[in-house]
């Protein structure tokens, strides 16, 4: 039964961040009054004050969010546009849908940005703009600043990655080459009133990071971007442009002081923590006593597995009060082998490979909320002493598979993969430990 419990709890975590459900649960309209309910804030808006409503969805989950909006806005006119990843669309009747490249932007990413800019051209204080933001947004819409092309942006990103720049440095540079990122999108909204509903796929839920901070101010400057060019030996027109910007000759990204906070609202309607709360609720329904440990898990997957196992052992011995440990986040895998797998399956395999007979009664699952762990058709996998025994019975040694980063082929054979199919949501990964 315990393996089934793991699956049930994980599925409840995913359900809790289903974009369609989230919109329906948190947003409704009665007598022209739009209401938003959220744990952290509630909010009302009289739609009668506006002449025009525009709904724009950007990101991998935006079509499913838009489907919710169609339902909530039944009987209301609006202009709708969704830019999502190829294949991530839904049957929408009131939205124009554009599918674009992810993780590598393509020509449709340029077209997506152009369409958005066009749609927002004539907004004014009588316009209400509802924006649906989710992960992937930064690749799906691409608006290079004048004088630069998509190829220029890709070229500099590639160079920075090669030369060891971190994600913060790369984002600083990209924001300063974009008309959308780093709050550029918010600038386009001018005096309109805007509500930005955000599904976070970023650990820590930083608004300046989700979809490269479309709807939030940027704390980095041209000066910072220039220093990064110097640090990584980047010459040419990008550096010249940053130099010009640092001297006041180009438009800065959106700054905190320039935000009119009365005219817009950013609300994170779904995040990894919401998924963990869904898991917690289900665990309680199953009669368990759950404890959420973190929604910011990070590190090398196979090492993280050891620490989670050490906590499982600790709680099994000393905290009879808690028998379900829930965590979430996003780990990394340093690939050394040639096998097939993903960070969740690798974590489950590393967990499994450390188990001994003393660990009977410890059950583990790690899986991605998007239903897609690495280049596989699984969301993740499970580990337990029973599964380890099953592996030995059929002559499989987990260490061999772990060494070859071949977690998928291992779990396929011991029938411990977690499969959900694509979920059209994404709030990173979830780990569940059950103690019996």
CB of 74 to its own copies, least distance (A): 36
- Other C-beta atoms closer than 10 Å to the C-beta of 37 total 12
CB of 292 to its own copies, least distance (A): 6
Q: Any idea of the CA torsion for 193, 196, 197, 203, to the nearest 10 degrees?
A: -160
CB of 317 to its own copies, least distance (A): 8
CB of 362 to its own copies, least distance (A): 12
What residues make contact with its own copies under the rule CB under 8 A?
204, 273, 292-300, 303-304, 306-308, 310-311, 313-315, 317-319, 327, 329, 358
CB of 94 to its own copies, least distance (A): 37
Q: How far apart are CA 63 and CA 124, in angstroms?
A: 26
The residue (of 190 and 306) whose beta carbon lies closer to its own copies is 306
CB of 291 to its own copies, least distance (A): 8
The 3-state DSSP class for residue 165 equals coil
The residue (of 294 and 413) whose beta carbon lies closer to its own copies is 294
The residue (of 78 and 298) whose beta carbon lies closer to its own copies is 298
The residue (of 158 and 168) whose beta carbon lies closer to its own copies is 168
The residue (of 74 and 317) whose beta carbon lies closer to its own copies is 317
Cα distances (angstroms) measured from residue 162 to each of 67, 156, 274: 40, 10, 35
Q: How far apart are CA 243 and CA 240, in angstroms?
A: 5
Burial of 111 (0-12, 13-18, 19+ CB in 10 A): middle
The residue (of 18 and 330) whose beta carbon lies closer to its own copies is 330
Which has the closest alpha carbon to 112: 170, 67, 59? 59
CB of 274 to its own copies, least distance (A): 12
- Other C-beta atoms closer than 10 Å to the C-beta of 56 total 29
CB of 347 to its own copies, least distance (A): 11
Are the CB atoms for 298 and 203 separated by under 8 Å? yes
Which has the closest alpha carbon to 23: 84, 54, 83, 67? 67
Q: Which residue has the tokens 């060019």?
A: 229
Give CA 68 to chain center in angstroms.
Answer: 19
Helix-then-strand count for the chain, H and E: 16, 15
Give CA 378 to chain center in angstroms.
Answer: 18
The residue (of 315 and 408) whose beta carbon lies closer to its own copies is 315
CB of 152 to its own copies, least distance (A): 29
The residue (of 12 and 272) whose beta carbon lies closer to its own copies is 272
The residue (of 222 and 351) whose beta carbon lies closer to its own copies is 351
Q: How far apart are CA 64 and CA 196, in angstroms?
A: 15
| Paired tokens of 370 | 């998007």
Which has the closest alpha carbon to 362: 377, 382, 343? 382
């Amino acid at each position: 039964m315990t393996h089934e419990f793991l699956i049930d709890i994980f599925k409840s975590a995913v359900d809790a961040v289903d974009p369609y459900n989230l919109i329906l649960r948190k947003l409704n309209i009665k007598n022209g009054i739009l209401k938003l309910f959220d744990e952290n804030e509630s909010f009302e808006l009289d739609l009668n004050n506006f002449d025009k409503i525009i709904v724009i969805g950007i990101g991998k989950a935006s079509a499913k969010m838009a489907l919710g909006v169609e339902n909530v806005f039944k009987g209301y006119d609006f202009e709708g546009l969704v830019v999502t990843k190829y294949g991530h669309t839904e049957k929408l009747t009131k939205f124009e849908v554009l599918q674009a490249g992810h993780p590598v932007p393509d020509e449709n990413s340029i077209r997506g940005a152009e369409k958005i800019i066009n749609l927002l051209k004539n907004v004014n204080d009588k316009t209400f703009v509802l924006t649906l933001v989710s992960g992937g947004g930064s690749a799906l819409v691409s608006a290079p600043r004048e004088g630069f092309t998509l190829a220029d942006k890709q070229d500099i990103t590639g160079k920075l990655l090669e030369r060891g720049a971190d994600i913060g440095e790369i984002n600083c540079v990209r924001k300063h080459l974009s008309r959308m990122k780093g709050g550029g999108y918010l600038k386009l909204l001018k005096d309109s009133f805007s509500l930005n509903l955000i599904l976070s796929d970023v650990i820590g839920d930083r608004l300046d990071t989700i979809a490269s901070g479309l709807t939030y101010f940027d704390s980095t400057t041209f000066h910072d971007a220039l220093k990064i060019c110097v640090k990584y030996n980047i010459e040419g027109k990008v550096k010249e442009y940053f130099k010009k910007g640092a001297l006041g000759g180009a438009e800065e990204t959106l700054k905190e002081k320039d935000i009119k906070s009365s005219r817009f609202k950013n609300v994170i309607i779904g995040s990894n923590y919401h998924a963990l709360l869904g898991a917690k609720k289900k665990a309680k329904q199953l009669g368990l006593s759950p404890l959420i440990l973190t929604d910011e898990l990070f590190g090398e997957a196979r090492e993280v597995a050891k620490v989670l196992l050490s906590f499982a052992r600790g709680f099994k011995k000393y905290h009879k009060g808690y028998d379900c440990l829930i965590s979430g986040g996003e780990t990394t895998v340093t690939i050394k082998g040639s096998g097939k797998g993903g960070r969740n399956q690798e974590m489950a395999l590393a967990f499994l490979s450390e188990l001994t007979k003393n660990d009977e009664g410890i059950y583990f699952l790690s899986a991605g909320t998007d239903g897609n762990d690495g280049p596989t058709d699984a969301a993740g996998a499970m580990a337990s002493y029973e599964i380890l025994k099953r592996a030995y019975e059929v002559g499989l040694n987990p260490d061999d598979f772990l060494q070859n980063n071949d977690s998928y082929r291992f779990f396929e054979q011991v029938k411990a993969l977690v499969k959900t199919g694509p979920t059209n949501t994404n709030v990173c990964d979830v780990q569940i430990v059950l103690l019996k």
